[in-house]
């Protein structure tokens, strides 16, 4: 889980390219554990409230990793990549057309 804000690192700073088609199972084929979706949804809602009210510590520039098997969280700092094709110093992606698949995105 992460919070993305203008001027901070973006998703492509972490994952430059989408994985090849078929490399990762889709949510419809692998399934979704509802309890995890609920846990992450509650955390994301809390982050929105914090950002809107300007309170607490923002997750911008951080990635929270949740291990449900050990019930543990780990926070990793994510720096903005100056060479990032989306938010870097000289972006090459300037619109949403034709830049990677969304086939593996669960929604």
- Predicted local distance difference test score (pLDDT) of residue 106: 47
Domain 1-96, CATH: 3.40.50.720
CA nearest neighbour of 101 among 14, 5, 22, 4: 22
Average pLDDT, the chain: 88
Q: Is the pLDDT of residue 66 over 70?
A: yes
With a cut of 50, say whether residue 62 has pLDDT above it: yes
- Band (pLDDT 50/70/90 cuts) for residue 107 is very low
Q: Where are the domains of the chain?
A: 1-96
Catalytic residue among 10, 13, 27, 84: 27
User: pLDDT value at position 98?
Assistant: 65
The model carries a pTM of 0.74
Residue 103 has pLDDT above 60, yes or no: no
Report in angstroms the alpha-carbon separations of 5 from 8, 20, 72.
Answer: 6, 27, 25
Percentage of the chain beyond pLDDT 90 is 66
The residues, any chain, with a CB within 8 Å of residue 4's CB and separated by 6 or more, are: 10, 11, 60
Alpha-helix residue ranges (DSSP H) falling in the chain:
11-14, 27-30, 34-53
Establish whether 27 is a catalytic residue.
yes
């Amino acid at each position: 889980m992460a919070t993305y804000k203008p001027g901070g690192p973006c998703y492509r700073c972490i994952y430059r390219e989408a994985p090849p088609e078929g490399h990762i199972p889709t949510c419809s084929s692998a399934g979704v554990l509802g309890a995890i979706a609920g846990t992450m949804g509650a955390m994301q809602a809390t982050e929105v409230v914090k950002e809107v009210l300007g309170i607490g510590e923002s997750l911008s520039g951080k990635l929270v990793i949740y291990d449900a098997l050990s019930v543990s969280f780990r926070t990793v700092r994510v720096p903005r990549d100056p060479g990032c094709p989306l938010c870097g110093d000289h972006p090459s992606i300037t619109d949403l057309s034709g830049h990677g698949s969304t086939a593996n995105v669960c929604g």
